[in-house]
Amino acid sequence: MKKAVHIPKALSDEALQKAPQQGKRLLEPLKAFSVANGAPIHILENVDQSNPPEIHVREADLWIVLKGNPTFTVGGAMIGATPQTLPDGTLNDMELTGTSIEGGTDYTLSPGDMLYIPAGDPHSHKAVGTVRMYIIKIREA
């Protein structure tokens, strides 16, 4: 049985003090805390990064922008959908990646904006400059 997890604001504050780094990463110490406690929340940092399209078959994403102006493309049809390849070479058919999205809707977000993406919806996002966002994974049946 899962238990409640208190996530102190100090963890986010410490994570947000980190200097930005080129690329994509989850910020510490919130990352380690969330993994150790089974909490589905992280702070994702993207610096001048475009992320490939993906579909989460059973998980929804709730994004909360903390810094920057990410642009998300959501919905439409994902082109070239293939199961995610795990580090051990096996395939994860619950997470699909693709080459592009056709017919999606673009959303450019600002700090304080939120975007909910239901399970099964293709989506991608890009960052110009530094973008930091809470990402909360919501398990759907």
How crowded is residue 133: how many other Cβ atoms within 10 Å of its Cβ?
A: 26
What is the C-alpha separation between 70 and 62, in angstroms, rounded? 14
Q: Which residues pair with 78 in a beta bridge?
A: 101
pLDDT value of residue 141? 64
How crowded is residue 132: how many other Cβ atoms within 10 Å of its Cβ?
A: 23
pLDDT value of residue 140? 82
Judging by DSSP bridges, how do beta strands 59-67 and 100-102 pair with one another?
unpaired
What is the C-alpha separation between 101 and 103, in angstroms, rounded? 7
Q: Residue 2: is its pLDDT beyond 90? A: no
Cβ density class 109-127: b for 16+ within 10 Å, e for less: beeeeebebebebbbbbeb
Contacting residues for 93 by C-beta, under 8 A, at least 6 apart = 57, 83
Q: Can you give the pTM of this predicted structure? A: 0.93
Q: Residue 24: is its pLDDT beyond 90? A: yes
For the stretch 86-132, pLDDT in tens is 889 999 999 999 999 999 999 999 999 999 999 999 999 999 999 99
Q: Give all domains of the chain, ordered by start, each with its CATH number.
A: 41-139 (2.60.120.10)
Give me the mean pLDDT over the 23-48 stretch. 97
User: What distances in angstroms separate CA 27 from CA 16, 19, 32, 104, 131, one per listed residue?
Assistant: 8, 10, 9, 29, 12
Q: Residue 32: is its pLDDT beyond 70? A: yes
